[in-house]
Amino acid sequence: MQSNIKDTDESRQGESMVLEGKEGNSKKLFIESYGCQMNFSDSEIVASILLENGYNTTSELEEADLIMINTCAIRHKAEDTVRKRLTEFNALKRKKPSLKIGVLGCMAERLKTKLLEEEKVVDLVAGPDAYRDLPKLLEDVDDGRQAINVILSKEETYADLNPVRLGGNGVTAFVSITRGCDNMCTFCVVPFTRGRERSREPESIINECINLWNHGYREITLLGQNVDSYLWYGGGLKKDFDKATEEQKENSVDFAELLDRVAVAVPGMRIRFSTSNPQDMHESVLRTMAKHDNICKSIHLPFQSGSTAVLKRMNRQHTREEYIELIDKIKSIVPNIALSHDIIAGFCGETEEEHKETLSLMEYVKYDFGYMFAYSERPGTPAHKKMADDVPEEVKKRRLTEIIDLQQVHSKQRLESYLGKVHEVLIEGNSKRDENFWYGRISQNAVMVFPKTEGTKVGDFVMVRADSCTSATLLGEMI
Ligand code: SAH
Ligand code: F3S
């Protein structure tokens, strides 16, 4: 929706990333990513594939021989941003006709050949499961053939590829563990753009974590659309687990076990995971979290709406009451847990009463943090096909504002509850405001800023007492 209220959008906006080059590579790739963490992680896979095919990355657009834009389709606004960016690339291409432009990710998958027709500047289109095909697609462009691959895969997890780490802080990294999503929430385009759910082989995940530890990384986030649904049984789609052999079923690995194995394999590493889905979050995961100090005490648990009727229209597999039960269980098994959410305001048919149920659920849980959105109808989704997007824009906006305002109150309360206590902080870098201060996070994911002391460096774990806070940051002192 067109709104002057900013969604608290988790989508990072068009960051370009670079890595160390490979000797002998003569061409330059500029890669820019939008949207969720998974896209940023995928861009690292793309860069590592192209590194083996003659391309080093650059942060200078003017220098690029190839521009790849990894796109998001989750809301209308995300696609608008990409289209605007393509117009800018068009101007560059006029100056340098040999420049190639590729569109990757969810918008590529959603629009397919339409993208080549509508955006003349685009030379190449590749969906999230087609990145191994990029070298061939680039040849197609050279030969004047239409370069498009939007085939979704049953197996692809890019497990064997060691993603190069693009432009990060050298301390925190994403490790993808599942791809796709089977949930079919009626508002969501992801099942169509990222395909069916499949899990990555545990050994390759653990090896990647060990490798990251050996390269100085101190925090990993295990990534998936629905991590709690992780299930490895020898390959294949989650939905085909029924067809697995008895032996495969016996040796299968679920999320709690994976989490446990990772925590043991890299005991010094902080471990986070995202995103959890209430329907799949089992007690075994909570017990594993409580058991290991290196698993961070923070859960991102979207609930979308506090009304059971709305949840039903959204095809979420839980009720308000079940969600509350889960929250109570989490709080009792994992003390000091920080909770965050995703909420959609103004979904099809949402009444004022239903909206109030969202606010009251927020009151009950008191989340540390949240991502809040106005409903944006996506073509092809079940909601688009079967329901009317009938909440007026100004009502959506007003409800979103109420949700955001309430979250701000709770975020402040939660931050205040951390004051006067000593927290372990992983130093991630300089504070943006003042380079005499460090920037890091506590286990509960809150940001802590504190004065540097001699002998400390990025990647260190230090103990910091929280003394005060602004609306989103703890201020403290090392002890
Ligand atoms: N399971 C995924 C969810 C991806 S989408 C994950 O890993 O985070 C992230 C959030 O975007 C969703 O939880 C939902 O709150 C929001 N969202 C999805 N489709 C939307 C739509 N059509 N309009 C507004 N918000 C949407
Ligand atoms: Fe989308 Fe629901 Fe999956 S929000 S990513 S369909 S869990």
> Which segments within 255-337 are labelled E, that is strand?
270-274, 298-300
pLDDT digits (tens, 9 = 90+) for 287-321: 999 999 999 999 999 999 999 999 999 999 999 99
**Confidence class of residue 11 from pLDDT cuts 50, 70 and 90?**
very low
Q: What is the pLDDT of residue 307?
A: 98
- Burial bucket for residue 120 (CB in 10 Å: 0-12, 13-18, 19+): exposed
* Ligand 2, atom nearest to 277 Cα: 7
In the predicted model, is pLDDT for residue 219 greater than 90?
Answer: yes
pLDDT digits (tens, 9 = 90+) for 111-152: 999 999 999 999 999 999 999 999 999 999 999 998 999 999
**Confidence class of residue 218 from pLDDT cuts 50, 70 and 90?**
very high
In the predicted model, is pLDDT for residue 3 greater than 60?
Answer: no
Confirm if 229 and 238 have CB atoms less than 8 A apart: yes
In the predicted model, is pLDDT for residue 90 greater than 80?
Answer: yes
**Confidence class of residue 168 from pLDDT cuts 50, 70 and 90?**
confident
The conformational region for residue 304 under phi > 0 = left, psi -120 to 50 = alpha, else beta, is left
Cα 33 to ligand 1 centre (Å): 17
Q: Is 341 helix (H, G, I), strand (E, B) or coil?
A: strand
State the number of CA atoms in the 13 A half-sphere of 111 facing the CB.
23
The answer to whether the Cα torsion of 353, 341, 425, 271 is positive or negative is positive
Percent pLDDT > 70 in the chain is 96
State the number of CA atoms in the 13 A half-sphere of 103 facing the CB.
31
Cα 281 to ligand 2 centre (Å): 14
How far apart CA 217 and CA 320 sit, in angstroms, is 39
Cα 190 to ligand 2 centre (Å): 6
Torsion of CA 387, 388, 393, 398, to 10 degrees: -50
Listed in order, the ranges of the chain carrying CATH 3.80.30.20 are: 172-417
Chain position carrying tokens 């239903």? 354
Burial 293-323 (b: 16+ CB within 10 A, else e): ebbbbbbbbbbbbbbbbbbebbebebebeeb
* Ligand 1, atom nearest to 302 Cα: 13
Listed in order, the ranges of the chain carrying CATH 3.40.50.12160 are: 2-149
Radius of gyration from C-alpha coordinates of the chain: 22
Nearest ligand, measured from the Cα of 194: 2
Cα 77 to ligand 1 centre (Å): 13
In the predicted model, is pLDDT for residue 258 greater than 90?
Answer: yes
Please, which residues bridge with residue 429 across strands?
439
pLDDT averaged over every residue in the chain:
94
Cα 8 to ligand 1 centre (Å): 12
* Ligand 1, atom nearest to 304 Cα: 15
How far apart CA 190 and CA 273 sit, in angstroms, is 19
CB of 225 shorter than 6 A to ligand 1:
yes
pLDDT digits (tens, 9 = 90+) for 462-476: 999 999 999 999 999
DSSP 6: P
CB of 67 shorter than 6 A to ligand 1:
no
**Confidence class of residue 4 from pLDDT cuts 50, 70 and 90?**
very low
How far apart CA 268 and CA 276 sit, in angstroms, is 23
Q: Whose CA is nearest to atom 4 of ligand 1?
A: 225
CB of 192 shorter than 6 A to ligand 1:
no
In 3D space, the residue among 370, 390, 377, 326 whose CA is nearest the CA of residue 472 turns out to be 370
pLDDT digits (tens, 9 = 90+) for 407-460: 999 999 999 999 999 999 999 999 999 999 999 999 999 999 999 999 999 999
Confirm if 374 and 346 have CB atoms less than 8 A apart: yes
Ligand 2 binding pocket, CB closer than 6 Å = 181, 183-185, 188, 190-191, 225-226, 277
Confirm if 136 and 182 have CB atoms less than 8 A apart: no
* Ligand 2, atom nearest to 184 Cα: 6
**Confidence class of residue 12 from pLDDT cuts 50, 70 and 90?**
low
In 3D space, the residue among 438, 467, 444, 476 whose CA is nearest the CA of residue 171 turns out to be 438
Q: What is the pLDDT of residue 226?
A: 95
Q: Whose CA is nearest to atom 12 of ligand 1?
A: 342
Q: Report the residue among 79, 314, 342, 384 best suited for mutation to probe ligand 1: largest number of ligand atoms under 8 A from its CB.
A: 342
Q: Whose CA is nearest to atom 13 of ligand 1?
A: 342
Structure tokens at 402: 């109420």
Q: Report the residue among 187, 277, 367 best suited for mutation to probe ligand 1: largest number of ligand atoms under 8 A from its CB.
A: 187
The answer to whether the Cα torsion of 5, 10, 11, 15 is positive or negative is positive
Q: Whose CA is nearest to atom 7 of ligand 2?
A: 183
Cα 188 to ligand 2 centre (Å): 6
How far apart CA 26 and CA 40 sit, in angstroms, is 24
Q: What is the pLDDT of residue 142?
A: 95
Residue 81 preceded by cis peptide, ω within 30: no
How far apart CA 326 and CA 305 sit, in angstroms, is 15
Nearest ligand, measured from the Cα of 78: 1
Structure tokens at 51: 């590194």
How far apart CA 427 and CA 425 sit, in angstroms, is 6
**Confidence class of residue 228 from pLDDT cuts 50, 70 and 90?**
very high
Cα 388 to ligand 1 centre (Å): 19
How far apart CA 208 and CA 378 sit, in angstroms, is 35
> Which segments within 58-153 are labelled E, that is strand?
66-71, 100-105, 124-126, 147-149
CB of 400 shorter than 6 A to ligand 1:
no
Residues belonging to the chain: 479
110's CB contacts (< 8 A; 6+ apart) are 73, 189, 192, 193, 379, 380
Q: What is the DSSP string of 29-65?
A: EEEEEEESHHHHHHHHHHHHHHHTTTEEE-S-GGG-S
Listed in order, the ranges of the chain carrying CATH 2.40.50.140 are: 422-478
Confirm if 473 and 479 have CB atoms less than 8 A apart: no
State the number of CA atoms in the 13 A half-sphere of 371 facing the CB.
13
Element (H, E) at 369: strand 369-374
In 3D space, the residue among 33, 368, 376, 352 whose CA is nearest the CA of residue 188 turns out to be 376
CB of 226 shorter than 6 A to ligand 1:
yes
* Ligand 1, atom nearest to 183 Cα: 1
CATH class as words, domain 172-417: alpha beta
Cα 161 to ligand 1 centre (Å): 28
CB of 301 shorter than 6 A to ligand 1:
no
Cα 434 to ligand 2 centre (Å): 39
pLDDT digits (tens, 9 = 90+) for 20-70: 678 889 999 999 999 999 999 999 999 999 999 999 999 999 999 999 999
DSSP 237: B
Confirm if 297 and 334 have CB atoms less than 8 A apart: yes
Q: What is the pLDDT of residue 14?
A: 67
Cα 191 to ligand 2 centre (Å): 7
How far apart CA 448 and CA 441 sit, in angstroms, is 6
Q: What is the pLDDT of residue 53?
A: 94
> Right CATH number for 422-478 from 2.40.50.140, 1.20.1300.10, 3.30.465.10, 3.40.1400.10?
2.40.50.140
CB of 303 shorter than 6 A to ligand 1:
no
In the predicted model, is pLDDT for residue 167 greater than 90?
Answer: no
* pTM for this predicted structure: 0.93
Q: What is the pLDDT of residue 17?
A: 66
Q: What is the pLDDT of residue 166?
A: 81
In the predicted model, is pLDDT for residue 8 greater than 50?
Answer: no
Cα 11 to ligand 1 centre (Å): 10
How far apart CA 33 and CA 140 sit, in angstroms, is 23
CATH code, 2-149: 3.40.50.12160
CB of 378 shorter than 6 A to ligand 1:
yes
In 3D space, the residue among 222, 263, 247 whose CA is nearest the CA of residue 37 turns out to be 222
CB of 314 shorter than 6 A to ligand 1:
no
How far apart CA 420 and CA 422 sit, in angstroms, is 7
Element (H, E) at 353: helix 352-365
